[in-house]
Amino acid sequence: MSKKELEKSKELARLYYLNGDTQKLVAEKVGVSRVTINKWVSDGGWDTMRMAKSITRKELVTKMMQKANDKLEEGNMSFDEMAKLSASIKELDKQTNAVTILEVLTAYNEWLVVRMQVDKELTTDLVKTMNRYQDMFLSEQIGNNKSLFNGN
């Protein structure tokens, strides 16, 4: 496999993995060994990206509300705790977080892979470069807990 083909396989593997496929299935789909997939997952931080994708704001708010409800029923929730919970939920609802970013970038990358079949200007090198910048952007968002649109 040439270097160019290997890079294309790696990008496809990343997309499959981030969409929930197992390492074994990704290896079969892409045509590389499970050891190679494992190395790519580890080196690229794909597990962190995949975990971020699996937790939605709605799920977080639901869990927070359930905990608050349990505390209220037990009579163990102070006014201060309620105010903090309310502020946390409000902030979660306002933010465009890493999960949303990852969902959009994943959909865009899937479109690029399909589009490469019909658009000769869209090369593997161009997609690779865009993916590298997308990964850096996402890593910064996850690492700094930043939101795109809330001024942080």
Give percent of the chain above pLDDT 70: 84
CA distance 92 to 135: 23
- Count CA atoms closer than 13 A to 14's CA, side-chain side: 27
Give 60 or 121, the one with higher predicted confidence: 121
pLDDT at 47 over 90: no
pTM: predicted TM-score of the whole model, two decimal places: 0.44
Residue type, 146: K
CA distance 100 to 53: 8
pLDDT at 102 over 50: yes
**Alpha-carbon dihedral angle through residues 112, 118, 124, 130, given to the nearest 10 degrees:** -30
CA distance 112 to 106: 10
Contact indicator for 15, 110 with CB cutoff of 8 Å: yes
Give 143 or 8, the one with higher predicted confidence: 8
Contact indicator for 94, 150 with CB cutoff of 8 Å: yes
What is the reported pLDDT for 135? 80
- What are the boundaries of each domain within the chain? 3-54+96-144, 57-94
